[in-house]
Every structure is written in structure tokens, then in C-alpha cells.
């Protein structure tokens, strides 16, 4: 078993990483504070794992809300519907909200927990690779808006995260690969040794070898914990975690969250960031090829596309939540394993990158 601790003073918590955590009653002992528990999950995850979670909760007064699957679920409409249900019950201030599912469920349930009666107890039980290595860690919660991804939300830390590696066995290959985008991201931004390890072991990773699975989840969480502890609310270094996201969010918004999974859009965004970094003279063509080759071996898209206009991407990036004082911020690569936040790259180079990929 691995335990990664997030040191944030009174908001500190542990991420537990192991097999068989779902069903181990000890893992929730002392974390579920009151008698009421409100579980948020989705139609895919509920048949697989909800019964195990309910068994862990014993004689608690448990309510559940089952969402449709998909990124479009992360909406103000569903946020409001969950709050309606909690008020109808009614849930009191001692209620514990538990997110059982992937990043969409975690982000939405976390925002509910952050805002219901100005904040209630919250636990993350991520069941996808992407949520185990990224979205369940660090306290970002929120919903999407038609004009932009994750534009509405709050920083709100859980009391505990249970990452049961066994849940990855039920992921389809596309969802698994989407999670690998965030794993590769950690290597690119500040852990060259990890990036090189993934290059050497990508076949074992794709085969979901048990030892490799625990390692990539643990190391990814360690990387994120190190950054979040320094910058909880993304006023500085935490923005490095957005490598590929400025481009990727624009792609998701342009396609109404229907064409690419989040990790797939981030993968294309990382390829675009590497391309722009090369135009800046920071990495060379061979570095870009290494990035693209690893993404491709991980089953991720990284090639140009022909169904979105370059102008559309440029316009959508202007309303990204990372824009400050009208300046678009990007995370670019000074070298493999070394990222830097760049405000308003040279327009001609940015346009050249977008035009290279967006051939619509």
C-alpha cells in the first residue's frame, strides 16, 4: 500500500493507493463525520462499485444521486439538481458527500460539497486513471459552461482520497489511455526521470501490469502533491500542471465536449505546446518527436485535425480561465522535464502552431 500525504495545514489529507480499498471498512472509519452520507456517482460506475461502498458505510443514513456518464454531465443544471435533492431530504451540515467515479463526478460532487451550507465533509473515491492521478488530488472542483471549461467552481480539499487500483480493470482502453495523458504530463513538466521510465515501460503500462499501475499512480500523486503544497490555489507554480490544457480546453469547448475525452484533448494540447516550444527554440524536433511517439504508444491522439478552424481555437483560448489581464498564459517546455509559464507567446508563433494542427 502507498500513502501520499498532502500537507496543507488544517486541510491536510491522505491519498491511499492500493488494491481492494473498496470494501475495506477501516478506510472510512473516522472520516465520515455525521450520520448522513450523500453519494454522487454515475450510471457506469454505480453497477460496478456502489454496492461495495454502501457496505463500507454500515448503518449510516445513505442517499445517492446517479448521474449520466460523460463530460457534458459536469453542468450547472446537474449541480443544481443535486442541491435540490439534498435540500429535499434535507441534508444537514454534518453530511458527508462522497464522489464515487471519474473526474466529472469528482469535480461536480466536490463543488456541491464546497457550496452546500458553505461547505460540508467531502471524500473522493476515484475510479478512473485520470481521476486517480490528477482530478481527485488538489481540491479543484467545478462545472463547465458553454463558453468555457471549468469556468465555475471552487478550491475545496477532500478529507481523504481512496484510489483503489482494482477499479482500473474495468476501464475500457480509451478511458485508460486518456488517464495516461496526465501521467505523461508529470514527466514533462518536472520529472524527466519519470518521463524516461514511462518511455522504457510503456508496453507494461499499456498491459496494466499491477506493479506498474501502483507505481504510476503513486508517483503521479507525489508529483502533484509537491506542487499543490507550494501553491494550493494556483497563484504561481501550480499553473505548471496546465501543460497542454489551454489548447486542450479550447478543443473540448469547440466540440461541445463530444469528440475527445479530456485526456485526449490534453494530449493534443501537449503536442501543440511542444510544437510552440520548438518554435521558441527551447526544444528541438527530436524532443517533439519523443513526445508525440510516447503519446501515440499510449493510445492518444496527437496529430493535426481538420474539423476545427484555427480562428475558433484562438477565440476560445481568449476566454480560458488562465487568461490574466487579457493575456493568454501557456505552459511550455524549456526542455523535456522542465516546464515554464509563458504569458502571451509571440503571436506569429502561436498562430503557426494552431494553424499546423487545426487544418479545418
Residues classed as catalytic? 118, 140, 182, 224, 234, 238, 242, 245, 249, 262
Cell numbers linked to 161: 482520497
Closest-CA residue to 165 (of 223, 125, 123, 207): 125
Q: How many helices (H) and strands (E) does the chain have?
A: 12, 11
* Phi and psi at residue 300, to the nearest 5°: -110, 145
Let me know: does 264 contact 255? Beta carbons within 8 Å. no
CA 72, CA 311: separation in Å to the nearest integer?
Answer: 24
Look-up: residue for cell 490555489? 233
* Phi and psi at residue 114, to the nearest 5°: -65, -30
CA 88, CA 91: separation in Å to the nearest integer?
Answer: 8
At residue 22's C-alpha, the angle toward residues 39 and 299, to 5°, is 95
Distances (CA, A) of 167 to 17, 23, 52, 321: 11, 12, 12, 32
Closest-CA residue to 105 (of 146, 158, 57): 158
Let me know: does 158 contact 112? Beta carbons within 8 Å. no
CA 138, CA 93: separation in Å to the nearest integer?
Answer: 23
Classify residue 272 by burial, with Cβ atoms within 10 Å: 0-12, 13-18, 19+: buried
* Phi and psi at residue 282, to the nearest 5°: -95, -35
DSSP 68: P
CB atoms within 10 A of CB 58: 11
Amino acid at each position: 500500500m502507498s500513502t501520499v500525504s498532502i500537507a496543507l495545514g488544517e486541510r491536510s489529507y491522505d491519498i491511499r493507493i492500493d488494491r481492494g480499498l473498496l470494501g475495506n471498512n477501516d478506510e472510512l472509519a473516522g472520516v465520515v463525520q455525521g450520520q448522513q452520507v450523500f453519494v454522487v456517482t454515475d450510471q457506469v460506475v454505480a453497477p460496478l462499485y456502489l454496492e461495495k461502498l454502501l457496505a463500507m458505510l454500515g448503518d449510516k443514513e445513505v442517499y445517492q444521486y446517479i448521474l449520466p456518464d460523460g463530460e457534458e454531465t459536469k453542468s450547472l443544471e446537474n449541480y443544481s439538481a443535486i442541491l435540490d435533492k439534498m435540500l429535499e431530504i434535507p441534508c444537514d451540515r454534518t453530511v458527508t458527500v462522497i464522489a464515487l467515479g471519474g473526474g466529472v463526478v469528482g469535480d461536480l460532487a466536490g463543488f456541491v460539497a464546497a457550496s452546500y451550507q458553505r461547505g460540508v465533509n467531502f471524500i473522493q473515491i476515484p475510479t478512473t486513471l485520470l481521476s486517480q492521478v490528477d482530478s481527485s488530488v488538489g481540491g479543484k472542483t467545478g462545472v463547465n459552461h458553454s463558453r468555457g471549461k471549468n469556468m465555475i467552481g471552487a478550491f475545496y480539499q477532500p478529507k481523504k482520497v481512496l484510489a483503489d487500483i482494482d477499479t482500473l480493470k474495468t476501464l475500457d482502453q480509451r478511458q485508460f489511455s486518456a488517464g495516461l495523458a496526465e501521467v505523461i504530463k508529470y514527466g514533462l513538466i518536472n520529472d524527466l526521470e519519470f518521463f524516461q521510465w514511462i518511455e522504457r515501460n510503456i508496453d507494461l503500462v499499456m498491459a496494466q501490469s499491477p506493479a506498474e499501475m501502483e507505481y504510476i499512480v503513486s508517483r503521479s500523486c507525489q508529483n502533484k502533491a509537491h506542487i499543490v503544497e507550494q501553491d494550493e490555489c494556483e497563484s504561481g507554480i501550480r499553473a505548471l500542471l496546465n501543460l497542454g490544457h489551454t489548447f486542450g480546453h479550447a478543443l473540448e469547448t469547440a466540440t461541445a465536449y463530444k469528440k475527445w475525452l479530456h485526456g485526449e484533448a490534453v494530449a493534443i494540447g501537449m503536442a501543440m505546446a511542444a510544437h510552440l516550444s520548438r518554435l521558441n527554440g527551447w526544444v528541438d524536433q527530436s524532443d517533439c518527436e519523443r513526445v508525440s511517439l510516447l503519446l501515440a504508444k499510449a493510445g492518444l491522439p496527437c496529430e493535426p485535425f481538420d474539423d476545427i478552424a484555427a480562428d475558433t481555437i484562438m477565440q476560445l483560448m481568449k476566454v480560458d480561465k488562465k487568461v490574466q489581464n487579457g493575456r493568454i498564459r501557456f505552459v511550455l517546455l524549456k526542455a523535456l522535464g522542465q516546464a515554464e509559464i509563458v504569458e502571451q507567446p509571440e503571436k506569429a508563433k502561436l498562430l503557426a502552431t494552431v494553424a499546423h494542427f487545426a487544418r479545418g
